[in-house]
Amino acid sequence: MKLRWRALALCVVAFAAQAQTDTARPEIGEPLLAAQDLIKARKFKEALVKLRDAEAVTDKTDYEWYTLEHTRLSAAIGAKDMNGAARAFEALDAMRRLSDADRLQMLQAIASGYYRAKEYAHAVAWTQRYLGAGGTNPQMRKLLAQSQYLSGDVAGAVRELRAEVLANEKANTAPAEDRLVLLLTASARRNDDGNYTFALERLLAYYPKKVYWAEMLDRVQRKPGFSNRYALDVYRLMLASASMRSADDYMAMAQLALQAGLAAEARAVLEQGYATQVLGAGEQAGRHRRLRDLARKQSEQERAGAAAQEAQARTTKDGVALVNLGFALALSGQASKGTALIELGIAQGDLARPDEVQLRLGQALVLAGQYAKAVSVLNSVTGKDGATDLARLWILLSQRQN
């Protein structure tokens, strides 16, 4: 954080206006003026030495003390003598002659100086004094959290960073990526899973990079109780978030889709892999081609039998067949029709896994572009088998599109 020396060295020019009512004796005024000239020349250590001549004069008036300490403060900050600057400020503050603006400026300068000197505990204390005195510079809030983290007050840094993010969002401003990363790092140091997830979700929302999606999806799968039924759903999120990492990801997703009887989805995944030139090259090119051929063949068979399958699904007593067919249609590019069939299946009832069904409906609504409705449905998903976490990630994707 850069220091504005001209603003901080107001003592060099500020006293002329007071000359009519406040004056310093020559034996004090001359070394003070000499010190101020040295400050202007950025010879701060020499200025501190020159101030000893003024300090040696006895029976100083309040104005002479005020001018001396004001000049000492500027020189000490320039010389990076932050303890000296702090002592000068305390003396000035006790005189109660500082304006509110000057007081805030000095507090900010001292806090910033301690931060640059890597005396982070002092930086925290002085930044808190600045904020407590009514300071509003947003850079100082950033400095506070960084100082807390670097001083070892990780819990304080987490509190400050979370409050900063919430304030940004209240003001409809995206939190800075580096602040979210710092919150993520600080939360990890404290094993604070709640704030870690809070930060990671916002990184996905505002800065949806592959590395953040990979971290989140890995965390979801590592959670106790995560069901293997949702392995394909993890790949769906990778695909939807443009975070597929390799040819192996495309091949694994396609194979899982084929095993689930979703040949149209498998075909679409493989075609995308070819379109992005991830598939179709290298030693595995033949394997890629054979799987694509199989997916194409099975998807054509699915399409040919879709009408008969729908007619049969409508005659069943429960809604399972309608939900499954509707989801398959949504994945094959018929999202609106698929959504309607899933809703019909839900209305028909007798569903073994209602949370999974709501997840499927939410995904289909996202594919249909009905983002607001999708968010409402996905927010209703509960359970500890992974469905709730996956629903939350689909919500993040929906909000990016909405």
Looking at the domain that runs over 229-401, which CATH code has it been given? 1.25.40
Between the alpha carbon of residue 397 and those of residues 124, 150, 241, 256, the distances in Å are 38, 34, 7, 22
Nearest CA-CA partner of 122 in 182, 81, 68, 163: 81
pLDDT score, position 5: 42
DSSP code for 228: G
Asked if 95 contacts 66 with a C-beta cutoff of 8 angstroms, the reply is yes
- DSSP assignment of 340-388 equals HHHHHHHHH---S-HHHHHHHHHHHHHHTT-HHHHHHHHTT---SSSHH
Asked if 322 contacts 296 with a C-beta cutoff of 8 angstroms, the reply is no
pLDDT score, position 14: 43
The whole-angstrom separation of Cα 250 and Cα 239 is 9
Nearest CA-CA partner of 12 in 53, 61, 92, 67: 67
Q: Where are the alpha helices (DSSP H) in 223-262?
A: 231-240, 247-259
The whole-angstrom separation of Cα 51 and Cα 91 is 15
Q: Identify the helix (H) or strand (E) that includes residue 164.
A: helix 154-170
Residues in Cβ contact with 394 at an 8 Å cutoff, skipping those fewer than 6 apart: 237, 240, 359, 362, 363, 366, 374, 378
Ramachandran sector of residue 99 (left: φ over 0; alpha: ψ -120 to 50; beta: rest): beta
Residues in Cβ contact with 92 at an 8 Å cutoff, skipping those fewer than 6 apart: 66, 69, 70, 73, 98, 106
The one-digit pLDDT tens for each residue of the chain (402 residues) are 444 444 444 444 443 334 334 688 899 999 999 999 999 999 999 999 999 999 999 989 999 999 999 999 999 999 999 999 999 999 999 999 999 999 999 999 999 999 999 999 999 999 999 999 999 999 999 999 999 999 999 999 999 999 999 999 999 999 999 999 999 999 999 999 999 999 999 999 999 999 999 999 999 999 999 999 999 999 999 999 989 989 999 999 999 999 999 999 999 999 999 999 999 999 999 999 999 999 999 999 999 998 999 999 898 888 999 999 999 999 998 999 999 999 999 999 888 889 999 999 999 999 999 999 999 999 999 988 999 999 999 999 888 776
Q: Where are the alpha helices (DSSP H) in 18-153?
A: 26-40, 44-55, 62-78, 82-95, 100-116, 120-132, 138-151
**Pair of tokens at residue 266:** 């498998």
Q: Write down the domain spans for the chain.
A: 1-98, 229-401
* CA quadruple 387, 390, 396, 397: dihedral, nearest 10: -120
The whole-angstrom separation of Cα 57 and Cα 251 is 85
3-class DSSP state for residue 135? coil
pLDDT score, position 7: 41
Nearest CA-CA partner of 243 in 212, 266, 221: 212
**Pair of tokens at residue 212:** 């953040």
Asked if 106 contacts 73 with a C-beta cutoff of 8 angstroms, the reply is yes
- Tokens 């010190």 correspond to what residue? 35
pLDDT score, position 402: 63
Asked if 44 contacts 36 with a C-beta cutoff of 8 angstroms, the reply is no
The whole-angstrom separation of Cα 2 and Cα 208 is 31
